[in-house]
Structure 1
Amino acid sequence: MTLPAPSVPTPDTRARRDRLVGIGLMCLAPIFFAGLDASGKILAREGVDPLLTTFMRYAVNVALVTAMLNPVTRPGVARTRRLPLQVARSLLLFGSTACNFLALRSLQLAETVSIQFAAPLAVALLAGPLLGEWSSRRRLVAIAVGFLGVIVIVRPGLGTMQPALLFCFGNMSCYALYIVATRKLAAYDSSATTIFYSGLAGLLLMSPLLPWIWTAPASPLAWTMLVGVGLFGTAGHWLLVLAHARVPANVLAPFIYTQILWSVLLGFLVFGDVPSGWTLLGSAIIVGSGLALLAQDAAHRRRTV
C-alpha cells in the first residue's frame, strides 16, 4: 500500500499560520507587561525604593540582552550612526519606567496603564514637528477625543486628582518621545543595535546611585519580584519582537490594548482594586481614539498602494 505524500504548506497557509502565531504572541506580551506593573506595585508595598526597582528592571534586562547581543556574538552591534540619539532614547525609556514605578505606589494598575496608552496620541502630535508627519483634521479630532479620555480619568478641579498622576503624565511623555526616537533611529541603525542600547543609559545612570538607594529586601517575595521586574519586561519586549517579525505592525497594534484588561484583572486579584466608572470610561475613550487612528492609517495606506 502506498502512503499518501505529506502535504506541503502553501504560501497562503504559511501566511495565515504566521498571522495567527504573531497575533498570539502579541496577546501574550501584555500579560508580561501587566505582570511587570504588578511586580512594581508589590515592591512598593514591600517598602522597596522605586528607583531600586528601576535599577533592577534594567540590570536584569541588560544582562539578558548582552548575553544574546554583544560585539562577540554579533560583530558591529555596538556601532551606531546616531550615538546621542541612542543615549537620549535609552534615557527616555528609563524616565518612563521610573515614573511608572513611582506612580504605582499610590495608583491602581488600571489608572497608570490607561494614561500610558495615551502615548500614541501624543506621538501623532509630535510626529509633525519632529518627523514631518503632519496629522489630518480627522486625526486631530481623534487625538483630541483621546486626550478627553485622559481628562475623564484625572478629572482635574474636582478634588480627585492625586499628585501621583503627575508621574503618569511623565511616564506618558517620556514614552511618547521614546517611540518618536525609535522611529527616527530606524533610518540609521539596525533593530539589534537599538535593542543593545535600550537599557544601557538607565543602568549606567543608576549604578552610581545604588549605595544610596539600596536596602536589602525584607522578604523572599521582594527578592523574587526584584528579579521578576527584569524578567517580565524582557520577556514582554521579546514577544513583541517575535510578533512583529511575523505580522505587520498595523495588524498587531490593536491587541496591545488587552493590557488594560490584564491590569484590571491583576489589580483586582492581587490588590483588591476595583477601577472606578470614570477610569473605565476614560480608558474606553482612549482605546477608541487609538483604534480610530489605526483605522485612518490603514485606510491611508490602502489609498496610496
Structure 2
Amino acid sequence: MTANRAGALLMLLGMAAFAMNDAMGKWLVADYGVAQVILLRSLAAGAVMLPFVLRGGGALRRLASAPRPGLQALRAACATIEVFCFYLAVSYMPLADVMAFWMAAPIYVVAISPLILNERVGARTWSAVGVGFLGVMILLAPALQLSGLGVLFAVLGTAAFAAIMILGRSLRETPDRDLVIFQLAAALAAGLLLAPLDWQPLRGAGDLGLLFLLGLVATAAHMLVTRALKLADASVVAPLQYSLLVWGALFGFFVFGDVPAGEMVIGAALIVGSGLIILRRPAPAEAPAPALAEAGE
C-alpha cells in the first residue's frame, strides 16, 4: 500500500472516530453538564497520554520551555473554548448541522489570512470564500428559527476553531504531541473548575464507561488524523475530512432520528465545494491553502 493510500485510509478512519466521539458527546450532554463530560473525557485522554506527558517533564514544564509560550497558551485556551462550544451547540442542534458549521472554519481562515498572516489571496479564492459564506448564511437562516442559542455557540466555536488553525501556523515548530498535551491540560483545568457547578450523579457504570470511552475515541481520532497528515500529501487527505459530514448525517439519523433539512444539505454542499476550491488553489500565484484542522471533538 502506498503512503498516500495508507494516509487516506487513516484519515477516513479518523473522521469516523471523530463522528463517533461527537455522537457520544451529544448523547451524554443530554444528561450531564458539558464541563462534567469534558472533565471525564479529559481524564480518560490523559491516561492515554500520560507516558508522553511524563517524558521530558510535565505539561507546565513543556509549556514554559516551548517556543512562544504566550501563543501556546492562547491556542490551548481557544481549543478549550471550541470544545465547550461544540458540546453546547450539539445539545441544541442536530449533529450534522453543527458539523457543517465547523467545516466552514477553513473558509474563515482564508478570509482573514491577508490581515493576520499577510498571505496573498487571489480572485478565484475570494469567489470560493463568498460561496462558502453563502453556504453558512443558508445554514443560519433555519437554524436561528429553531435554536438561536445553539447557533450562537456554533458560531463562537467555529471562530475559536479558526483561531486554532491560524495559531497553529505560527507554531509549526512545536511537535503535534505537545500541542495535544497543552490542549488536554487546558480542557482538564477548565473541567475541574466548572464541573462542580453542574455536577450530575452518574446513573451507572455504563455511563461512566461511555464517558471514558469518549476520551479514548477522541485521542485515537487525533492520532489517526495526525498520522494521516504525516504519511500522505495534504492535497490527498485534506478533502477527505469532509467525510465527517457524511458520518455526522448517518449518526444523526440512526442515533438521534435527525433527518437533514434541505437547507442543511444545500448549505453544506456549498461549504464543501468552497473548501475544495480553496484547498486546490494554485501555489505559484497564491500562498498554499491551509489544510483543514483536525475536525470534530
TM-score, normalised to structure 2's length? 0.88
* Equivalent position amino acid for 1:185 in 2: L
How many pairs align?
Answer: 286
Matches within 5 A, 1:4-153: 17-45=2-30, 47-72=31-56, 79-153=65-139
* Equivalent position amino acid for 2:68 in 1: R
Report deviation, 1:299: 7.1
- Cα distance between partner residues in 2 of 1:129 and 1:184: 14
Q: Deviations over 1:155-202 (max 9, x none)?
A: 16984553211111011000000011111111x433333233222122
* Equivalent position amino acid for 1:197 in 2: F
Q: In 2, are the aligned partners of 1:81 and 1:189 still within 8 Å (CA)?
A: yes
Q: In 2, are the aligned partners of 1:111 and 1:279 still within 8 Å (CA)?
A: yes
- Cα distance between partner residues in 2 of 1:255 and 1:264: 16
Question: Which segments of 5 or more consecutive residues in structure 1 lack a partner in the other structure?
Answer: 1-15
SS of 1:81's equivalent in the other structure is: coil
- Cα distance between partner residues in 1 of 2:46 and 2:39: 10
* Equivalent position amino acid for 2:97 in 1: E
Counterparts in 2 of 1:18 and 1:78: CA distance versus 1, 3 Å: farther
SS of 1:245's equivalent in the other structure is: helix
Is residue 154 of structure 2 the alignment partner of residue 168 of structure 1? yes
Counterparts in 2 of 1:78 and 1:232: CA distance versus 1, 3 Å: farther
* Equivalent position amino acid for 2:280 in 1: A
Aligned match of 1:213: 198
Is residue 222 of structure 2 the alignment partner of residue 237 of structure 1? yes
Counterparts in 2 of 1:76 and 1:177: CA distance versus 1, 3 Å: closer
Report deviation, 1:274: 0.6
- Cα distance between partner residues in 2 of 1:302 and 1:170: 27
- Cα distance between partner residues in 2 of 1:177 and 1:116: 12
Counterparts in 2 of 1:226 and 1:302: CA distance versus 1, 3 Å: closer
Q: In 1, are the aligned partners of 2:33 and 2:195 still within 8 Å (CA)?
A: no
Q: Deviations over 1:228-285 (max 9, x none)?
A: 2211211111001111121122221100000100111111111111110110111001
TM-score, normalised to structure 1's length? 0.86
Is residue 244 of structure 2 the alignment partner of residue 247 of structure 1? no
Counterparts in 2 of 1:36 and 1:158: CA distance versus 1, 3 Å: closer
* Counterpart pick for 2:212 among 215, 224, 227: 227
SS of 1:68's equivalent in the other structure is: helix
- Cα distance between partner residues in 2 of 1:229 and 1:157: 27
Counterparts in 2 of 1:178 and 1:76: CA distance versus 1, 3 Å: closer
Aligned match of 2:294: none
Report deviation, 1:217: 1.7
Q: Deviations over 1:91-147 (max 9, x none)?
A: 111111100100111211110000110000011122222211132222111111101
Q: In 2, are the aligned partners of 1:26 and 1:256 still within 8 Å (CA)?
A: yes
Report deviation, 1:81: 1.6
Aligned match of 1:278: 263
Report deviation, 1:213: 2.8
Counterparts in 2 of 1:225 and 1:68: CA distance versus 1, 3 Å: same
Counterparts in 2 of 1:76 and 1:208: CA distance versus 1, 3 Å: closer
Counterparts in 2 of 1:302 and 1:100: CA distance versus 1, 3 Å: closer
Question: Which segments of 5 or more consecutive residues in structure 2 lack a partner in the other structure?
Answer: 289-297
The structure with more radius of gyration:
1
- Cα distance between partner residues in 2 of 1:191 and 1:146: 29
Report sequence identity in percent. 29
Is residue 265 of structure 2 the alignment partner of residue 269 of structure 1? no
Measured on the aligned residues, the alpha-carbon RMSD in Å equals: 2.5
* Equivalent position amino acid for 1:165 in 2: V
Q: In 1, are the aligned partners of 2:120 and 2:287 still within 8 Å (CA)?
A: no
Q: In 1, are the aligned partners of 2:82 and 2:156 still within 8 Å (CA)?
A: yes
Counterparts in 2 of 1:243 and 1:168: CA distance versus 1, 3 Å: same
